[in-house]
Chain A
Amino acid sequence: MVHTSLDVVDEKISAMGKALVDQRELYLGLLYPTEDYKVYGYVTNSKVKFVMVVDSSNTALRDNEIRSMFRKLHSSYTDVMCNPFYNPGDRIQSRAFDSMVASLMPQVC
C-alpha cells in the first residue's frame, strides 16, 4: 500500500511537469496481483495531493463520483486549512473534516 501510494505520488509528480494544474488525476489501474484496489490521485493548485485508495470489491466507481468526492475532500481540506489553529502538516483532527470524509465513505464502500 505504501509503495503503491509512493508510486502514485511519483506519477503525479511527473504529471505536474506537463500540466501543473491537474485537478483530476484519476489513476486507475494500479492493481496489485493480490490486492485489487484502485488508487485515485488528486492534486490541488498548491501541490497538495489527495490519494484515495478504493477496493475494487464494489462496482467500480464512476469517474464523476470520484471527482465529486475529491472536490468535497478538497473543499473540506481548505476549510481545515482556514483554521489558524491548524498547523500545516499535522494530522487533521477536525471533526467536521472527519465527518465529511466519513460521509464519503459509504459512497465508495
Chain B
Amino acid sequence: MEGLTLSDAEQKYYSDLFSYCDIESTKKVAANGRVLELFRAAQLPNDVVLQITELCGAKRLGYFGRSQFYIALKLVAVAQSGFPLRVESINTVKDLPLPRFVASKNEQESRHAASYSSDSENQGSYSGVIPPPPGRGQVKKGSVSHDTVQPRAAADQQEPASPVVSPQQSPPASPHTWRKHTRHPSGGNSERPLTGPGPFWSPFGEAQSGSSAGDAVWSGHSPPPPQENWVSFADTPPTSTLLTMHPASVQDQTTVRTVASATTANEIRRQSSSYDDPWKITDEQRQYYVNQFKTIQPDLNGFIPGSAAKEFFTKSKLPILELSHIWELSDFDKDGALTLDEFCAAFHLVVARKNGYDLPEKLPESLMPKLIDLEDSADVGDQPGEVGYSGSPAEAPPSKSPSMPSLNQTWPELNQSSEDTAIVHPVPIRMTPSKIHMQEMELKRTGSDHTNPTSPLLVKTSDLSEENKINSSVKFASGNTVDGYSSSDSFTSDPEQIGNSVTHQRSHSGTSPDSAAPPPPPPRPQPSHSRSSSLDMNRTFAVTTGQQQVGVVAHPPAVPPRPQPAQAAGPVVHRPVDADGLITHTSTSPQQIPEQPNFADFSQFEVFAASNVNEEQDDEAEKHPEVLPVEKASDPANSLRVAKTDSKIEEKTAASAPANVSKGTTPLAPPPKPVRRRLKSEDELRPEVDEHTQKTGVLAAVLASQPSIPRSVGKDKKAIQASIRRNKETNTVLARLNSELQQQLKDVLEERISLEVQLEQLRPFSHL
C-alpha cells in the first residue's frame, strides 16, 4: 500500500492495537472481528469505516495485515480529526492525533479495561473478544464495550465489540435469541448500563443486522458493521456514559438478535458474560451447559455419543464445517464422544460462534479439559478448557470455578484409584475373601489331600473338647480371616516353596505381606498350597528343623489359632465320619494323644525339633516330602471323606495337639496371625499324616512355630520367612499324617466291608 510513516507514539499505539486485534497471535493478521470492533469503537460512521478498510487494502486482501491495520488506524485518526479520507492523507496529515477508540462499556468495562490494560498482550485482545461469546448476544456486546475501554491493551475489550458486531449480524437467527440471555450479567458483565445507550444501540444493531444480515462471515467482514459507538477505545478508562451506552447498545443488539434467532439454547448460553476471559465459561453458562448435557445424557460422568452431539449442535444452525471444527476442538481425547467438560467446551464454542466470535484454531485454555487421565480424558475435556482459558489476562481464577465441578468429577476417579491402592495395602480387607478361601480350603482339604491338615485340626478340636472348639470356632473366624491372609501367605509361599525349599520360609513370610497387598492372587492357590507346600514342607521341614528350633519358642503361641480354625472346620466335617473309624485307629490315636499335649509346650518344640530330627531319621517319608505328602494327602483326604475312625482319631489327636498349641497361642496372636497359624497348622497337619507321632510332633513344632510367624511378620521379615518355612514343614508333616490316616481309614473300611460280606454270607447258614 502506500508508504506509511508513523511517529513513535503512533507506532507504539498501533502495535498495541494490532496486538489487541491479533487474537490468534499470528503477529501478522489482525482478526477482522476485532478490527471491526476497534473501528466501531472509533466512533466513526459506518461508511467511514468501510472506506477506511477499503483504503487500507484490507478489503482487497480480505484480512488486516499489520500494514493494513496500521494504515487503517491512521485513517481512523484522520477521520476522527475530520480530515477526508484519502490514501495520501495517511502521510500528509501532520500532527494527527492518535485514533481514539472509545470503549462503550460501563464501569465494569472500565475495570475490565483496566485489567486488560494491565495485560496488554494479545491475550488481552483475546479476552476482549471472547467474553461476549458466553453471553452470546448480550454478553458479547456488553463485554465488547467493556473491553474496549482501554486503548492499548484495551484491544481485548475492543475486539469483543467488533467481533460481536460482526457475528451478531452474520448469524441473524441465532444471535438474536442469544442476545436476550446475555443480558444477564453472569460473569460480571457490565450489561447494566446498557439501558441508556439502548436506543442508540438498537438502531445500530438494526443497521448492523441489516448490513450484515447477508454476511455469513463472522469476523471476516472487511467493512466493519457500522457499530459506531459500540466499541470505543479510549486511552483513558472509558467514561461511564460511553460504557453505559455500549452495554445498552449491546443489549439492544443482543435483543435484536435474540428476537431474530430461533435458538433458545443459545440464549441461555449468552447469559454468562465473562469479560475477563473471552473463552471463559461463566457459572451461568456452565450451569446451562450442564443442564443441556443432562437432557442428552443424564449421567454427568457419562459420554454424549457423537451422533447425539451432532444432532444437538446442529440445532444451533451453524454450518457443518464450523460444527466440525468445534468438534475437533472440543473432543479433546478424540474418542468420538463428549464428556461433560468437552460438551461444555463445545457448547461454549458454539455460543461464541453464534455471537460472532471466531473459532480459535486450537482449544482455548479455559476450555481445555483439565483432568487428564484420572479416568477418561473425557472428564479432562471440559474442565481445563474452562479453567485454563483464564490464561488470558484477566481472570484465571474465576474461570476455575466452572471447572471445579469437572475437577470434582475427576476427583472421585482419583479417589477410586486411591481406594484401589488403599485396598491393596490393608491386609484386613482380605479377611472376607480369605474366610471364603479358608472355608474352601478346608472343604477341599476334607475332600482331598488337604484334609490332612483339617483332620488333625478336627482331631485336635475334638480332643480339646469344647474349649478347643470354642477356641477353634473363634479362631476359625479369625482363622478364616487369618487363613485368608495366611492362605494368601501360604499361597504365595507355596509357589515359592515349590521353587525353593530353602527360600520357602522366607518367601512365605515375605509373601504374606505381599499377599496382603495384591489381594487377588494369593487366596486361590491355597487349595494347591497344601499339597505343594506339603511336598515342600517335608523337605523344608527337614531342612528347617534346626531352624525351627530357633523359632520354635516363638511359634507355639501362634500355631494354635490356625489349627483350630482349620480344625474347627475339619471337625465339623470329620466328626461324623470319625465316629465310625474310631476303633481301628485307636491304636494310633494314643500315639497321637500323648504327642499332642506336647504341642502346647514350648519345650515340645525342641522335642519336636528333636523328634523331627528323629523323625527325619526314622521316617524317610518325611524326608521325602514329595512322596509322603502326596500319598498321605490323598489318603487322608479319602479317609476323611470316608470318615474312618482311624483317621478321625488321628486327626482328632493331631488336631487336639495343634488345637492345644493353637489354643495356647491364640490369645497371643492377633487376627492376622491366626491366618498364618492356620497355614502353619495346615503345614503341621500335613506332616502329621506321615506319622502320627511324627506328625504330632511336627504339629507341635509347627504350631509352636506358627505363633512366631505372626509375630515375625510384624517384626522381622526373616523371622516371618522362617516361620513360614516352619509352617510349611508342619504342613508337610501334617499332610503326611493325613495321608496315613486316610490310608488307615480305607483299610478299616475295607475290613468292615469284608466283615459285612462275611456276615451276609454266614447269615443264610445261620438260618439253616
Which residues does A use to contact B, with CB under 8 Å?
A: 78-80, 82-86, 93-96, 99
Contact = CB atoms under 8 A, between A and B. Distances in A.
Contact of A94 (B306, B313, B328): B328
Interface in B287-321: 305-307, 309-310, 313-314, 320-321
A55 B361 CA distance: 30
- Contact size range, B: 10 to 19
B331 A85 contact: no
B310 A82 contact: no
A86 B307 CA distance: 11
A89 to B, nearest CB: 14
B81 interface: no
Nearest to B322: A85
B309 to A, nearest CB: 6
Interface in B319-352: 320-321, 323-325, 327-328, 331, 334-336
A14 to B, nearest CB: 33
Contact of A83 (B305, B314, B327, B361): B327
Nearest to A80: B328
A85 B335 CA distance: 14
A34 B692 CA distance: 98
A76 B323 CA distance: 18
Interface in B181-227: none
A86 B335 CA distance: 14
A83 B335 contact: no
Contacts of B309: 84
Given A83-B331, A95-B361, 11 more contacts: A80-B328, A83-B327, A84-B307, A84-B336, A85-B313, A85-B324, A86-B324, A93-B321, A93-B324, A96-B328, A99-B361
B335 A82 contact: yes
B328 A84 contact: no
A94 B307 CA distance: 18
A95 B336 contact: no
Closest 5 CB pairs of A and B: A84-B306, A84-B310, A85-B324, A82-B336, A83-B327
27 contacts: A80-B328, A82-B331, A83-B306, A83-B327, A84-B305, A84-B306, A84-B307, A84-B309, A84-B327, A84-B336, A85-B310, A85-B313, A85-B320, A85-B323, A85-B324, A85-B327, A86-B324, A93-B321, A93-B324, A94-B324, A94-B325, A94-B328, A95-B325, A95-B328, A95-B361, A96-B361, A99-B361
B143 to A, nearest CB: 25
B495 to A, nearest CB: 39
Nearest to B325: A95
A79 B321 CA distance: 15
Contacts of B336: 82, 84
A76 B309 CA distance: 21
A78 B334 CA distance: 9
Nearest to A86: B324
A27 B306 CA distance: 36
B328 A79 contact: yes
B220 to A, nearest CB: 15
A95 B360 CA distance: 10
Nearest to A75: B334
A52 B336 CA distance: 27
A93 B659 CA distance: 79
A93 to B, nearest CB: 5
B321 A82 contact: no
A79 B361 CA distance: 15
Given A95-B361, A96-B328, A82 B320 contact: no
Contacts of A80: 328
Contacts of B323: 85
Contacts of A82: 306, 331, 334-336
A73 to B, nearest CB: 15
Contacts of B335: 82
A36 to B, nearest CB: 36
Contacts of B361: 95-96, 99
A79 B328 CA distance: 8
A85 B318 CA distance: 11
A79 B325 CA distance: 12
Q: Find the residue from A78, A79, A95, A96 having the highest chain B CB count within 10 A.
A: A95
A84 B325 CA distance: 11
A50 to B, nearest CB: 19
B314 to A, nearest CB: 8
A75 to B, nearest CB: 9
Interface in B233-254: none
Interface string B44-56: 0000000000000
A53 to B, nearest CB: 26
A86 B309 CA distance: 12
Contacts of B306: 82-84
A83 B323 CA distance: 9
A96 B331 CA distance: 12
Nearest to A93: B321
A41 B309 CA distance: 34
A84 B330 CA distance: 12
Nearest to A92: B324
A79 B314 CA distance: 20
Nearest to A97: B328
A26 to B, nearest CB: 27
A7 to B, nearest CB: 33
B321 to A, nearest CB: 5
Contacts of A79: 328, 334
Contacts of B305: 84
Contacts of B331: 82-83
Nearest to A87: B320
A71 to B, nearest CB: 15
B339 to A, nearest CB: 14
Nearest to B308: A84
Contacts of A93: 321, 324
Interface string B357-375: 0000100000000000000
Nearest to B361: A95
A19 B8 CA distance: 68
Nearest to A94: B328
B311 to A, nearest CB: 9
Contacts of A83: 306, 324, 327-328, 331
Nearest to A83: B327
B416 to A, nearest CB: 27
Nearest to A96: B328
Contacts of A96: 328, 361
Nearest to A85: B324
A94 B335 CA distance: 16
A47 B328 CA distance: 24
A94 B331 CA distance: 13
A86 B361 CA distance: 18
B363 to A, nearest CB: 10
Interface string B479-491: 0000000000000
Contacts of A94: 324-325, 328
B282 to A, nearest CB: 26
Contacts of A84: 305-307, 309-310, 327, 336
A9 B325 CA distance: 30
A96 to B, nearest CB: 5
A99 B26 CA distance: 14
B332 to A, nearest CB: 11
Contacts of B314: 85
A83 B327 CA distance: 6
Nearest to B338: A84
Nearest to B318: A85
A80 B334 CA distance: 9
A82 B335 CA distance: 7
Nearest to B323: A85
B202 to A, nearest CB: 35
Question: Which of B305, B310, B324 has the largest count of A CB atoms less than 10 A from its CB?
Answer: B324
